[in-house]
Every structure is written in C-alpha cells, then in structure tokens.
Chains A and B, each alone.
Chain A
Amino acid sequence: MATLSSTVTVNDPAAKGPKTGDGPGGTQPPVLGGGGGDRGGNGFPDYGQRLRRTRLGLLVGLIASTMVFVSFTSVYVMRRGLPTLDDRTGGYVHDWLQVSLPTGLLLVNTLLLVLSSITVELARRQITRQAALAPLQSIPGVSIGRERNYPWLGATLVLGLGFLTGQWMAWRELAGRGFYLATSPSSSMVYLLTATHAIHLAGGLLVLLYAGATGLLHRAVEGRRIVVDVTAWYWHFMAFVWIYVFALLEFVR
C-alpha cells in the first residue's frame, strides 16, 4: 500500500533526555554539535546553528525585498526623465511635478526610526547576554547578580509605532497640500515608496510584538533570542531603506 510519507517514529534513548526549550519546561543548556539539521547529539536544538541559519534566511529574504525597492527606484528615475507626448502641442514635454514634501515632519520620523534602531540593537544585545548567561542560572548556588532588564523591546515598539503614526500624518499633510496618490507621477511615487516601506516596517513591528509576547509567556530565551536577533537586523535594514527612500525623494526631485 503506497504511503505518502513514513510514519516511522524514531526511538532513540538519547532523545528521552530533558525536553527541549519549546514547551513550558524552562530554559535548558543549549547543546553543541550537530549534523545536518539543527538537532544536537542529545536531541537538544543547536541554537547556534539555528541562529546562523535564520540569519542566512533573513539575508536571502532581504535580497528579495531589495529587488522591490530597486524596481520602484528604477520606475522613479525612469519616469522622472521621461518625455511625454503633449496632446495639445503634439510635441514631447517633461511633466514631472515636484512634490512639496513635509520635510520637517519626515525628519522627525527619521529621528524616531533611528532611535528605534538604537533601542532594538540594545534589546538584541541584552537578550544575547541573557541567552549566554542562561545556563549559569540553573547551577545551584551560583548567582550572577541581578541584571537590570530594560524594556528596550517595548521602547522599540513605541518608537516604531510613533514612526508609522508620523508617516500617516505626513500623508495627511501631503493630501492637504493637494498631492494625492493619482495627482501626478511624482506624487504617486512618493506614496508608493513610503507605503511600501511602511508595510515592511509594520511587518517587523508585528514580529517584535510576537517576540515580546513570547518573553512575557516565558518561552525559552535561546529561541526568543533568535527571533529578536533576526528582527533587529531586519529593523536596521528597514531603517537604512527609509533613509535611502527619504534621500531619494528629497534630493532627486
């Protein structure tokens, strides 16, 4: 009888060791070594390998996201320089309208985003230290002193939300100045580029929320560390993308 996949379960006495950190079993020392896959010799997850792999996955994914921004950039540059047929005169004209950007507001947003990049980096380093020290906490009689756990993650969330709110306010301001999505090719690009970036950032915010939630639910710190680490890099990348988009809109008018 054909089967789609085997239902063979693996019975290895070594696997009956302490449970991995996925369930409510508390933190366990990460075990080193491993072959293909990310499970170590005793059935413990190899967090080091998993972190590297997740970072690699992020890097690859960011290439895809970069291609979207590259596409939009080439549309921007091409459209800006494109001569279009003027139906009245029958000749070619350049019809690129300069958009009056609310630069002050956008600068404030940029500051918020840069600050949030700093706070997420602090969160990343904090949880890295926590993950490194976690094994020591299970050793009876050893105390590492209380480390103040600053709510860097929460701060990032707040700053990130602040940025998105500021972007929303910038769109309202643009509309107030008469620049809507379909007003002109240049205004279309402004909305398109900033909205694409905002959507990416919102995605990052959701993952940060998830990271915070798993922290509150006391999931294993090594697993949480991977989430925060990778999200922090993603966040830095998005901050960089924002500075790029802002510079493009501001200086390539």
Chain B
Amino acid sequence: MGLALLAIIWLITFFSTYFFVAKTWWLPHGASTAALFIDNQFALTYLLMGIIFVAAQGALGLFVWQYRDRAGAPKVEYSHGNTKLEVLWTVLTAVLFVGLNLMGSNVWARERFAPANPGSVPVEVTGMQFAWYFRYPGPDGKFGATSPKLMDPSAGSEAAVGLDTSDPAAKDDVVTGTMYLPVNREVDLRLRAVDVIHSFFVPNMRFKQDAVPGLEIHMHFTPTEVGDYEIACAELCGLGHYKMHGTLKVVSAEDFDKWLVAREAEKQ
C-alpha cells in the first residue's frame, strides 16, 4: 500500500509537471510592453513553485513508502519536533514568499501606480449587458457628455453609451463596437459600466480591469504588435456573460489615423 501511494502521488506529480513544462496549454502570446515583465515574473514564480511542488509531493510519496510499518522496520523516532528546523524553514519560507512578492511589485507599480503618459491615445470603454463600446474623443480631444436618460442600446452605438449630441464636445466623438489602437503608443483607457460590473480582459495584452458602475477607472497599456486580439468579459454580468466579447485591432499609426478619419467622416 505504501508503494501504491508513492506510485499514485509520483504519477500525479509527473503528469501535472509534464504539462506545465511542455506548455501544452499556456499563456497566450503577449503583445504589450507589460507582457514581458508580467511573463518574467510569472516564469520566476512558476519555477520556484514548481520546485517546491515536486519536492513536497516527492517527499510525501517517498516518506509514506520508506517509513511503512513492516517487520524489521526501525524503531520510531520519538520526537516532538525540532525547534531549530522550524525556525529555519519558517524564515526561509517567509523570505521566499515575501521576496517573490516584492520583486513583482515593481511591475505592478509601473502598470498601476502612475497614470498614462501624456500623448497617449484616449479611449473610453463602456461595458453593458452584453457588449463593449469604445469611444474616441475626436479632434477636439474632449469626451462629450453622456446621460443615462439618453441610453438606448437598441438604437446604435452612440445611443448605447447615451451620447448627448447637444453637447458641442460630443459632436466629434466616435463610438464603435470594435476597438482600434495604434501600435507602440500607450492607450489611456477610461473604463465605465452602465448596469453591472463587467471586466475588460485582453489576454494578449496581459490587461484586465473591472468596469464598475458608478466609477470611472483610468488604466493604461501599450500594444507592441499589430494584429487582431480578442476581448473577453471577466466578471460575471448575467446570462450573456459568455458571449460578451469584442475585438481589439492593433494597427499601424497611419492606419489608425486613417480609420479614425473615416469614422469621423461617416458622422457627417
């Protein structure tokens, strides 16, 4: 039975570790400036936890077999513990865990403590049951007013976000269902939610932030590769949660400008 226990524990450990190491299913391709740092911190954590995982499971399996009760087994070591050893592994664990955390905190600070740099692309992201809308402030650089009274999702994108067309600043606002961003430029996101909590999740950008009704949350990231990326909702928001998705198209700076100009022209 000791051998059976050892076998099952070691087998489980082997298979689990195999799929981690083989990266059979893995983090999606990272295409933002944050991705490099996040993935590095992830790799470090994963290496350390992986070593502990294999060591602990290995020891568990080994001990239950090695110390099985059998004829001729050595006498039991009667002991209530070893204080020195306790202190040692407590300190080591604390240093490891807290140290690991502090290393990751730089990345967190860079992503979250400071606002977006000046010159970043302003985009307002609005989440509602069950779609994402993206608003660009247009040439005047100002987001126009929106009003809850004007919100009508059945009447198109501008009505969905409740754009108040009587506000002069709103006249050049572009509202779309697909997000366009220029590559290598930081985006200054303004996240809003209209009804319940949603979460704006772009896996390839290593970006996630809840959109909370009653709050206007500013976040930023910088896409580094042209391409099409999927946006998922990452906070349960109702029956359509699973299909509340969007698309982020990262394009060259010229293509972005062209696209924006074309949208502005459509408004005339």
A interface residues with partner B (beta carbon < 8 Å): 84-85, 87-88, 90
Contact partner, B215, options A85, A88, A90, Cβ 8 Å:
A85
Determine if B9 is an interface residue (Cβ-Cβ < 8 Å).
no
Instruction: Write out, one digit per residue, whether chain B residues 132-153 have a CB within 8 A of any chain A CB (1) or not (0).
Output: 0000000000000111100000
The answer, yes or no, to whether B214 is at the interface (CB within 8 Å) is yes
Interface membership of B216, Cβ < 8 A: yes
**Inter-chain contact A87/B147, CB cutoff 8 Å:** yes
Which residues of B have CB within 8 Å of A85? 214-216
Q: Which chain A residues lie closer than 8 Å to B216 at the CB level?
A: 85, 90
Chain A residues contacting B148 (CB-CB under 8 Å) are 87
- Shortest distance from the beta carbon of B212 to any chain A beta carbon, whole Å: 10
Contacts of B147 in A (CB 8 A): 87-88
Say how far A82's CB is from chain B's closest CB, in angstroms.
9
Q: Which of A84, A88, A90 contacts B214 (CB 8 A)?
A: A84
Q: Which label, helix, strand, loop or mixed, suits the secondary structure of the B interface?
A: loop
B145 proximity list for chain A (CB < 8 A): 90
Digitize B208-234: 1 where CB-to-A-CB distance is under 8 Å, 0 elsewhere: 000000111000000000000000000
Interchain nearest-CB distance for B125 vs A (Å) = 16
* CB proximity of B258 to chain A, nearest CB, Å: 30
For A88, the chain B residues whose CB sits under 8 A away are 147
Extra 7 A-B pairs, beta carbons < 8 Å, given A85-B214, A85-B216, A90-B145: A84-B214, A85-B215, A87-B147, A87-B148, A88-B147, A90-B146, A90-B216
- B-side contacts of A87, CB under 8 Å: 147-148
Q: How far is the CA of A84 from the CA of B212 in the complex (A)?
A: 12
Can you name the residue of chain A whose Cβ is closest to the Cβ of B214?
A: A85
Give the A-binding residues of B (Cβ under 8 A): 145-148, 214-216
> CA–CA, A200 to B146, complex, Å?
46
Contacts of A90 in B (CB 8 A): 145-146, 216
Min CB distance, B55 to chain A, in Å?
A: 41
Say how far B194's CB is from chain A's closest CB, in angstroms: 11
Report chain A residues within 8 Å CB of B146. Answer: 90
Q: Please report the C-alpha to C-alpha distance between residue A85 and residue B194 in the assembled complex, in whole angstroms.
A: 12
Name the CB-closest residue of B to A92. B216
Give min CB distance, B127 to chain A, whole Å: 15
CA distance A87 to B148 in the complex (A): 7
User: Can you report 10 A-B residue pairs in the complex whose CB atoms are below 8 A from each other?
Assistant: A84-B214, A85-B214, A85-B215, A85-B216, A87-B147, A87-B148, A88-B147, A90-B145, A90-B146, A90-B216
Q: How far is the CA of A85 from the CA of B215 in the complex (A)?
A: 6
Q: What CA separation (Å) do A90 and B170 show in the bound complex? A: 13
Give the shortest distance, in Å, between B154 (CB) and chain A (any CB).
Answer: 21
B142 to chain A minimum Cβ distance, whole angstroms, is 11
State in angstroms the CA–CA spacing of A90 and B215 once bound together: 10
Q: How far is the CA of A90 from the CA of B135 in the complex (A)?
A: 15
In the complex, chain A residues whose CB is within 8 Å of the CB of B214: 84-85
Q: Which residues of A contact B215 (CB under 8 A)?
A: 85
Q: Within the complex, what minimum Cβ distance (angstroms) separates A61 from chain B?
A: 35
A21 vs chain B, min Cβ distance (A): 47
User: Smallest CB-CB separation from B162: which chain A residue?
Assistant: A87
A3 to B70, CA, bound (A): 36
Bound CA span A84–B215, Å? 8
Looking at the assembled complex, report how far the CB atom of A34 sits from the nearest CB atom of chain B, in whole angstroms: 33
B148 to A: closest C-beta gap in Å: 5
Q: CA separation between A88 and B148, bound complex, in Å? A: 9
Nearest A-chain residue to B192, judged by Cβ: A85
Whole-angstrom CA separation of A88 from B166 in the bound complex: 13
- Whole-angstrom CA separation of A87 from B214 in the bound complex: 9
User: Please, which residue of chain B has its CB at the minimum distance from the CB of A85?
Assistant: B214
Top-8 shortest CB links A-B: A87-B148, A85-B214, A90-B145, A85-B216, A84-B214, A87-B147, A85-B215, A88-B147
Least CB distance from A186 to B in Å reads 17
Q: How far, in Å, is A30 (CB) from chain B's closest CB?
A: 43
Q: Which residue of the partner chain B has the closest CB to A82?
A: B214
Name the CB-closest residue of A to B147. A87
Inter-chain CA distance A87–B213, complex, in Å, is 11
Contacts of A84 in B (CB 8 A): 214
A84-B216 Cα distance, complex, nearest whole Å:
10
Expressed in whole angstroms, the minimum distance between the Cβ of A190 and any Cβ of chain B is 22
Bound together, the chains give a CA A90 to CA B216 distance in angstroms of: 9
Please give the distance in Å from A220's CB to the nearest CB on chain B: 49
Closest to A90 in B: B145
Q: Name the distance in Å between A75's Cβ and chain B's nearest Cβ.
A: 16
